[in-house]
C-alpha cells in the first residue's frame, strides 16, 4: 500500500512500513536470517546482505518511525541508551554539548561518565532558552532537550530554542527526546529539531516486553553518519524485537490517548488533595508552560506521565508507592499497565543530590506512568494509597 500525504496518524500507524511478502502475508513475517544469498560475488539477490547492516523487520520499523515523526529517515537501535550513545559518538572529539538539567538519569550518566571519556564535554542548564547564548562555545555541536522532562514534566518551547540556535549562525544540532509523548502527541521535527529520539521500550512498543531505541531526522548527512555508526558499532535490535515494536506501534494512538485521558483525571485529583505539595502534569492549565503545550501537543493532551510531591517526605513517598493495588512499583514507563516509582532512589538515584534537587527531583517526588486500565479504578487506587501514606 502506498500512503498518501493526506493520510492521518492512525492510518499511518497501521500501514507505514508494511511490506507484503511473496506469499501475500498481511502481517509481515519475522526474518531471523543473519545472512542473505548472493547470485555472484558482491551481487545480493535482494536488498539485504547481512542483518547487522540491515534486516527486513528493522527497515520496516525504521520507515514507520520516520513516517509518524514526519521525517525522511529513521533508525532503530538496541536501546534508547544506545541511540543516545550513537548520537554523541557522532560528534567530533573535543566537542561541547548543552543539555537541559532535568533529564533521564541514564542520559545524565552517559553525558557525565561516558561521553566525557571520549572528549565530549557537557554543560547542564535549568533555563535553556535564557542561558543558551552565554553557554555556546566555539566547539558547541549539540543541544539536548527532553520535553516534557523526566521526571518533573517541564515543557520546552522547541521552536524558540531552534530559532535561537539558528540566530547564532553555528553548526549546532538540536536533539529532542520525545519519549514521554510519543509521535502521536508531538512531532519535534515540525518545530525545528534536527533529530528526534525515543526509548521505544516505552510508549512506541507499549507492552513492556522489548528494549529498543529509535530516532528520526530530515537531515540526510546526519542520517548517513548515524547509519554508518549503527552498522559499525553494531548497536542494533534483533529482528524479533523490531517486529514486536512495529506491532506495538500500530495501536500507539489508541493507547496514548487513553493513557492521557486517565492521567488528566488523576492529575486533577492530585492537584486538589491536601496531602500533595505540588503536581507536575503538562495537561493541567496551571502548568507553567501550558501555552506551549497547546502549541506542541496534539489536542493539548498532557500524556500519560505525572509526578507529584507528597507530604511526609521520603517515608510517605515510599509508603504510597508500596500501598497501591493497580500501580506496580517498577522502573520504566509507557506500557499498557500502570507503574510508579520514586525517582530520587530509583531512576535518578545516580545523580548527586544537589544536582538532582536543583532540577526539582526531591526525596518526596513520586512518578506515575498511567496505563490504560479503567480510569476510575486507577483513581480509586491513588486515593487509597494517599490515605494510607497520610496515616
* Cα 229 to Cα 172: distance, rounded to the nearest angstrom: 19
Active-site residue, selected from the candidate residues 177, 194, 241, 363 = 177
Active-site residue, selected from the candidate residues 7, 48, 52, 319 = 52
Handedness of CA 247, 253, 254, 256 (dihedral sign): positive
* Nine-digit cell string for 87: 548520537
Nearest to 48 by CA among 58, 35, 61, 57: 35
Nearest to 242 by CA among 14, 89, 17: 17
Nearest to 35 by CA among 25, 26, 24, 46: 46
For residue 125, the SS3 value is strand
Active-site residue, selected from the candidate residues 154, 202, 298, 356 = 202
Q: What is the DSSP letter of 183?
A: H
* Cα 233 to Cα 135: distance, rounded to the nearest angstrom: 31
* Cα 366 to Cα 387: distance, rounded to the nearest angstrom: 15
Q: Convert 156-185 to b/e letters by CB count within 10 Å (16 or more is b).
A: bbbbebbebbeeeeeebbbbbbbbbbbbbb
Active-site residue, selected from the candidate residues 73, 104, 184, 223 = 104
The number of residues making up the chain comes to 391
Active site residue 52: yes
Residue 184 phi, psi (nearest 5): -70, -40
Q: Convert 222-236 to b/e letters by CB count within 10 Å (16 or more is b).
A: bbebbbebbeeeebb
Strands (E), 163-241: 173-177, 195-199, 213-217
Cβ of 218: how many Cβ atoms within 10 Å? 17
Q: What is the DSSP letter of 233?
A: I
* Cα 284 to Cα 148: distance, rounded to the nearest angstrom: 13
The two beta strands, 305-310 and 96-100, are: unpaired
Half-sphere exposure of 351 (CA within 13 A, CB side): 29
The catalytic residues are 52, 104, 177, 202
Amino acid at each position: 500500500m502506498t500512503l498518501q500525504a493526506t493520510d492521518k496518524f492512525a492510518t499511518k500507524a497501521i500501514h507505514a512500513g508494511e511490506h507484503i511478502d511473496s506469499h501475500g502475508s498481511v502481517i509481515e513475517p519475522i526474518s531471523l536470517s543473519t545472512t542473505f544469498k548472493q547470485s555472484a560475488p558482491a551481487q545480493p539477490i535482494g536488498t539485504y546482505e547481512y542483518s547487522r547492516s540491515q534486516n527486513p523487520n528493522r527497515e520496516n520499523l525504521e520507515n514507520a518511525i520516520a513516517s509518524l515523526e514526519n521525517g525522511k529517515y529513521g533508525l532503530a537501535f538496541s536501546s534508547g541508551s544506545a541511540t543516545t550513545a550513537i548520537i554523541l559518538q557522532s560528534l567530533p572529539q573535543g566537542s561541547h554539548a548543552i543539555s537541559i538539567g532535568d533529564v533521564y538519569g541514564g542520559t545524565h550518566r552517559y553525558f557525565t561518565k561516558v561521553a566525557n571519556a571520549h572528549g565530549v564535554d557537557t554543560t547542564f542548564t535549568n533555563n535553556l532558552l535564557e542561558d543558551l547564548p552565554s553557554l555556546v562555545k566555539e566547539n558547541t555541536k549539540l543541544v539536548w532537550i527532553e520535553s516534557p522532562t523526566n521526571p518533573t514534566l517541564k515543557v520546552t518551547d522547541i521552536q524558540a530554542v531552534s530559532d535561537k540556535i539558528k540566530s547564532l549562525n553555528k553548526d549546532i544540532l538540536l536533539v529532542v527526546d520525545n519519549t514521554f509523548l510519543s509521535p502521536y502527541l508531538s512531532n519535534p521535527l515540525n518545530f525545528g529539531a534536527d533529530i528526534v529520539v525515543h526509548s521505544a521500550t516505552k510508549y512506541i512498543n507499549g507492552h513492556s516486553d522489548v528494549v529498543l531505541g529509535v530516532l528520526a531526522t530530515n537531515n540526510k548527512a546526519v542520517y548517513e553518519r548515524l547509519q554508518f555508526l549503527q552498522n559499525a558499532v553494531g548497536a542494533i535490535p534483533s529482528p524479533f524485537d523490531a517486529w514486536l515494536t512495529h506491532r506495538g506501534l500500530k495501536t500507539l494512538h489508541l493507547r496514548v490517548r487513553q493513557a492521557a485521558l486517565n492521567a488528566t483525571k488523576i492529575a486533577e485529583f492530585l492537584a486538589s488533595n491536601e496531602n500533595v505539595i505540588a503536581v507536575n502534569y503538562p495537561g493541567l492549565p496551571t502548568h507553567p508552560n501550558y501555552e506551549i503545550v497547546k502549541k506542541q501537543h496534539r489536542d493539548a493532551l498532557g500524556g500519560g506521565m505525572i509526578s507529584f510531591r507528597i507530604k511526609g517526605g521520603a517515608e510517605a513517598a515510599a509508603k504510597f508507592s508500596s500501598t497501591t493495588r493497580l500501580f506496580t512499583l517498577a522502573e520504566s514507563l509507557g506500557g499498557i499497565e500502570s507503574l510508579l516509582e520514586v525517582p530520587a532512589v530509583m531512576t535518578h538515584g545516580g545523580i548527586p543530590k544537589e544536582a538532582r534537587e536543583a532540577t526539582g527531583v526531591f526525596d518526596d517526588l513520586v512518578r506515575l506512568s498511567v496505563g490504560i486500565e479503567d480510569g476510575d479504578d486507577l483513581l480509586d487506587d491513588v486515593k487509597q494509597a494517599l490515605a494510607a501514606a497520610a496515616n
